[in-house]
Amino acid sequence: MASMAIGSPALSPPYIANTEPPNVDIWASTAPPDMPDDTYQTGLKVSCTTWEPIQNIVFQFAYVILFVSYVIPPSSLTATFAMHIFLILGFLCYACWGWLYECSLDIFIWNLLFATLNLCHAVYIAIRIRPVRLTGERSELYDTIFKPFRVPKHTFVELCQYGKISSLKIGEHYAEEGKTRCNRLSILISGKVKVFCEGEFLHAIQDKQFLDSPEWDSFTHGQECDRFQITLTATLYCRYISWPRDTLLEYLESEPYVKQVFENLIGNDITKKLYLLTEKHLNTHGARADIRLPSAARELPSHHDLKGHFAAGPMGACGIGIPILGMSKPK
């Protein structure tokens, strides 16, 4: 030990002499021994000098179907249904290719999953676009009132399920003044109903018109009406469809478009009733009535001038007074 230390040159320990790492470019490394000769790695991408042959006809057919499915414009439910059908066929073909030719379980499972998902969408749309057959009364009601607003037939059928079709014999009352509760909304399908207030005739309600639109309007504006202030009597055999108020309100909240249709129909119906009252009393009194008619069950203010009011004595159409322009005496 002493002789080696005295006569020999100093040697550095191995762990000190070999601390410098080799200068190796890992991004330009050559291909591993097990990589084919026609494929080599450059950086992080793989370049191919020889391409694989074209896949079989099943693979090509799958992508052709997928291409067609995405070309279809989803302009309607029918077009969307067709798109999902083509997607189902495309994914099924691709799943068969993965199972029979590539023997790849993940390719088969994923494409089968996509096919199942599109099948669920197709079934849902098929239920919505299925042909709906309506009976004579419902078909006439739909064609006259709801079809111009483009309400789908299946939506109309669902709406009718919440209502009930009833009939009135000649002379039978739909509502009696001060007795019948205002808790529904009805449309006259066929027949004719006359409106009376304190025994005086106000106007007639024809088929495809609402029977109690003013009462409904007053309720929706916060002026709840407990009892009818008019009497509605059938002068012909009548058929009408009626919805309970609470049930219909709940349904309309879930169908915003149908709610807008009802608001339009009810507003138009009230306008027609006001016009009939205006023309009737114009011919009777020679002066045009003020058509700014409050809804039924809305109370008049205490300072409202009741002089000159007509239509069933002190009460006007739908149970409120109608002022006549130019006929009230100044105080």
Neighbours of 126 (CB within 10 A): 14
Residue 248 lies in a domain: yes
122 and 159 assigned to the same domain:
no
* Same domain flag for 263 and 144: yes
Least confident of 74-83, 240-249, 295-304: 295-304
My answer on whether 169 and 240 are in the same domain is: yes
Residues 113 and 258 in one domain: no
Tell me the pLDDT of the chain averaged across its residues: 76
Tell me which residue range forms the domain holding 14: 2-48
230: domain CATH number is: 2.60.120.10
Q: What is the DSSP string of 174-202?
A: EE-TTTSB--EEEEEEES-EEEEETTEEE
Q: For every residue of 256-291, which 3-state class applies, written as one string?
A: HHHHHHHHHHHHHHHHHHHHHHHHHHHHHHCCCECC
pLDDT mean over 290-318: 40
Question: Is 157 within a domain?
Answer: yes
Claim: this prediction has a pTM higher than 0.75: no
- What percentage of the chain has pLDDT greater than the value 70? 68
The domain total for the chain is 3
Answer yes or no: is 264 within a domain. yes
255 falls within a domain:
yes
Q: Which long-range contacts (CB under 8 A, 24 or more apart) does 100-106 make?
A: 100/58, 101/55, 101/56, 101/58, 101/59
Residues 73 and 105 in one domain: yes
Q: What is the pLDDT of residues 16-37, one digit of tens each?
A: 445 555 554 544 444 555 555 5
* Contact between residue 287 and residue 326 where contact means Cβ atoms under 8 Å apart: yes
Q: Is residue 303 part of a domain?
A: no
Q: Phi and psi (nearest 5°) for 27?
A: -75, -20
List, for residues 192-233, the tens digit of each pLDDT value: 999 988 888 888 999 999 998 888 888 766 666 678 888 999
Question: In terms of domains, do 10 and 68 share one?
Answer: no
